[in-house]
């Protein structure tokens, strides 16, 4: 059975590798891995069990981990980062010579220098074939221009969200996530897109992160529209306040009342008991 390891590269890019030898690796340990036409260097994130990912990974297509990175490798990585910054400046300068519109987000060199990837955003499809040939003549290596979406752009650039903390996609949610408006509804949030969208213009990643909590706790609360008798008045559930364990109800006189969940459940049982007697 093959041992599978998830390895992270610059800006949270992750790939799976298998181990062909008896080496053991620890999380956050830097390793040298096989890459297309060469080698690369990344950081170990976790071991993956076969049962966990067997449907998602084609083991025959995975590259291998070669060895643990040494001090010379790490020093070389620092030099590569400086090289990437210089490459970004050259890219921007050469871009002015071509009639194409795109925004450079990040530059990433393969560890052995056999490839440099420029990540960019654009309003639509861009024909950059001539531009790539021009860059190849300057860098004398394989050139790749990769268009990314706004969520990936935010992850690579980083920043501070409306919560005052670093972007979720930058510090821990580095895999692609699907976020829907239904998640906002499940969490009693407004569906006003301007208020539940991140700087990337897409729905907040934290909606996905917190969804399971709200789905689990929702089972403890009444359904919206439930009617009971409370203080000798008929009331209807209008909203559940999950974080404070309260239920908002509305009387027939259109007066809203906030009731603790425990008190609501007692009134609900009393209502059911009275209806049963009648």
**145-184 tens-digit pLDDT:** 999 988 888 888 888 888 888 888 887 766 667 899 999 9
Other C-beta atoms lying within 10 Å of the C-beta of residue 90: 13
Predicted pLDDT at 10: 87
275: pLDDT strictly greater than 70: no
The token duo for 12 is: 């949270």
Banded pLDDT at 270 (limits 50, 70, 90):
confident
CA contacts within 13 A on the Cβ side of 174: 17
Predicted pLDDT at 59: 64
Which residues lie closer than 8 Å to 41 by C-beta, 6 or more apart? 9, 30, 31, 32, 33, 69, 73, 77, 111
pLDDT one-digit tens code per residue, 69-98 = 999 999 999 999 999 999 999 999 999 999
Q: Look at the block and give the residue holding tokens 């903390």.
A: 165
The domain segmentation of the chain, as residue ranges, is 3-69, 75-148, 152-218, 227-277
What is the three-state SS of 126-195? CCCHHHHHHHHHHHCCEEEEEECCHHHHHHHHCCECCCCCECHHHHCCCCCCCCCHHHHHHCCCCCCCCC
218: pLDDT strictly greater than 60: yes
Predicted pLDDT at 276: 58
User: Is the pTM above the cut of 0.85?
Assistant: no
CATH level 2 (architecture), domain 75-148: 2-Layer Sandwich (3.30)
46: pLDDT strictly greater than 70: yes
Q: Average pLDDT of 30-41?
A: 92
Predicted pLDDT at 23: 80
pLDDT one-digit tens code per residue, 56-68 = 556 667 899 999 9
Beta bridge partners, 228, equal 235
Helix crossing, 129-139 with 71-95: angle to 10°? 130
The token duo for 21 is: 């030898």
Distance CA 139, CA 115 (A): 9
């Amino acid at each position: 059975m093959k041992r599978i390891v998830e390895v992270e590269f610059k800006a949270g890019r992750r790939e799976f590798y298998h181990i062909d030898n008896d080496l053991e690796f620890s999380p956050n340990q830097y390793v040298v891995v096989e890459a297309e036409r060469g080698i690369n260097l990344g950081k170990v994130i976790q071991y993956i069990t076969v049962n966990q990912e067997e449907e998602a990974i084609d083991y025959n297509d995975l590259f291998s981990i070669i060895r643990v990175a040494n001090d010379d490798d790490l020093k070389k990585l620092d030099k590569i980062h400086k090289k990437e910054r210089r490459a970004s400046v050259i890219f921007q300068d050469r871009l002015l010579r071509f009639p194409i519109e795109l925004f450079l987000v990040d530059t990433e060199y393969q560890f052995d220098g056999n490839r440099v990837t420029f990540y960019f955003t654009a309003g639509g499809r861009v024909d950059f074939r001539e531009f790539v040939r021009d860059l190849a003549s300057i860098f004398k290596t394989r050139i790749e221009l990769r268009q990314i979406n706004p969520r990936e752009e935010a992850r690579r650039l980083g920043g501070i969200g409306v919560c005052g903390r670093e972007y979720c996609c930058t510090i821990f949610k580095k895999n692609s996530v699907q976020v829907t408006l239904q998640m906002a509804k499940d969490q009693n949030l407004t569906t006003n897109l301007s208020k539940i969208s991140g700087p990337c213009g897409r729905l907040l990643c934290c909606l996905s992160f917190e969804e399971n909590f709200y789905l689990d706790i929702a089972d403890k609360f009444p359904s919206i529209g439930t009617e009971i008798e409370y203080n000798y008045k008929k009331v209807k559930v209008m909203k559940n306040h999950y974080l404070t364990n309260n239920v908002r109800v509305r009387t027939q006189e259109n007066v809203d009342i906030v009731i603790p969940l425990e008190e609501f459940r007692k009134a609900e049982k009393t209502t059911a008991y009275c209806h049963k007697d009648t």
